[in-house]
Structure 1
């Protein structure tokens, strides 16, 4: 029976160096191969042109590179690009390139499907199949970086972990992927340009603070009234608002970095004056900003975009209370690439 080949990107640089020494080669060969795997995003051992044929053969016999494959790419009329990404086991996730005049942002997935049950999100209707490995997350970013260079003639400037899945339910792989993305031996991006979005997993917010992470934190809040929040995001019964508030206060005390609240306003759900006042109160606990996100209906059900007046009320009352607020218009709606629409229709 043949041994199952090991995923080479699960090895550290030191383990790769040891492998070459144990096989009668020089340790520096490990550095070369490591560079091909990460800085140069090699898809196969044959790509490693400064490594001898015999060495490439040896790698082929012992290892695999479980590289992703962009199975389908769609371009929106607003320039947004959506990738349906096939993983080595045939499962599919989606990632998105969002361009503006000044930046290109990658929105990446961290799970196949999602662990949570937000009623307004298409991704939540997919069963969680598995967590993504760090290299699979890294590959999504690398592919979008190449598309950014191809279509917009500039490197990727920002990354948001806001695709499929709850990133904090796949914490170790998310952290490893960020380490690789920010390493000079990977993509060399600044952690300040990376935002991890959570629906409010309080224990893991505290862990991030203890781990002294350098990236930004966003929280999908959508209501600062417990009953409303529990109705639209049933799992939040496990993470009540008081617990969330304490975790975020802990985060700010440890990191001194403000939090972004992601917030969708829906007709008849959270568009009243009391909803706005509850949000204002919640925003007073720590320095923060609010992103009001345009909603993208996933069916003809109860979740519908609120009126322009409701949005205007939110903006004026938040600004009156010195809270920074931005309105995020949806991008890529025509290709189901907008917030909450990633559902592997392909």
Structure 2
């Protein structure tokens, strides 16, 4: 920046740093999904995913909020990694900027949606996530509507309550995956200290305070959580306040014994919920051939 004086440039160099992320690896799936591995200033790696749905003019980026994760969910590749640190707001923001560039270059369309569903638990990186949302939605940033942003959590009740008290405008997604405490404890250790009763109270509080959209993410595992009895338990949770259920195809992960549910079992499960007037979407996996699908982000070469 030669339009600045030499003294000022030296001052800025001495007192400020810009820790930009850099593209380390780029993979494109057969279905158009793009996974990017970014290197951070301290040599750590994170992954972001661009999920294009051109016919619907929907281009979503899935961003990471931590290097690794501390929650050890049994079905998630990221959960098998050690949590190294939280990302700073600029590193989250930069993922959005870089993937938006990819979307423009590849599809000729900017991003339409942002989901915090990549590596890490967003509510355990609370300040960074909130600051990054402020950057993304601010006039001085990307000026994106918070209604196009969804923060996903494995279920940290006190932080969901804090979101409500902070009056956030974005949407909330709960990675539920089981509708009773016994099964959820088995696959998600966080449930032992954030039981479904406590969690539902916090989410109901969030809804009452914000009226923001809430969705439950539910990965269907064969002979584990895909029975009609499981659907009945889930329906009970859905009756307390308006909620949408996304049933997600399980993506195989090395060293994990879970198997995805059969399509007819998922269809029956979804039909039961719909008959209870619950909004349900069955989501087929995108990008699983490049380990970019739900639960597969683990910085694999």
Q: What TM-score bracket applies, with the shorter chain setting the length?
A: over 0.9
Runs (4+) of structure 1 exceeding 4 A deviation are: none
- Cα deviation for residue 155 of structure 1 reads 1.0
Equivalent residue number for residue 331 of structure 1: 286
Q: How does 1:41-120 map to 2 (within 5 A)?
A: 46=1, 51-52=3-4, 54=6, 55-101=8-54, 102-120=57-75
Equivalent residue number for residue 176 of structure 1: 131
The answer to which structure, 1 or 2, has the higher relative contact order (CA under 8 A, 6+ apart) is 2
- Cα deviation for residue 60 of structure 1 reads 2.5
- Cα deviation for residue 115 of structure 1 reads 1.5
Equivalent residue number for residue 295 of structure 1: 250
Q: What do the CA deviations read for 1:273-326 (whole angstroms, capped 9, x no partner)?
A: 210100011100110000011110103642110111210111111110111101
| Root mean square deviation of aligned Cα | 1.2
Equivalent residue number for residue 163 of structure 1: 118
Aligned equivalent of 1:145, options 100, 122, 125:
100
Structure 1 residues not aligned, in runs of 5+: 1-45
Query: Aligned with 1:64: secondary structure?
Result: coil
TM-score, L = length of structure 1:
0.84
- Cα deviation for residue 53 of structure 1 reads 5.4
Matched pairs, number = 298
TM-score, L = length of structure 2:
0.96
Between structure 1 and structure 2, the one with the greater Rg is 1
Q: Is 1:314 aligned with 2:241? A: no
Report if the CA contact (8 A) 1:331-1:337 is conserved. Answer: yes
- Cα deviation for residue 235 of structure 1 reads 2.1
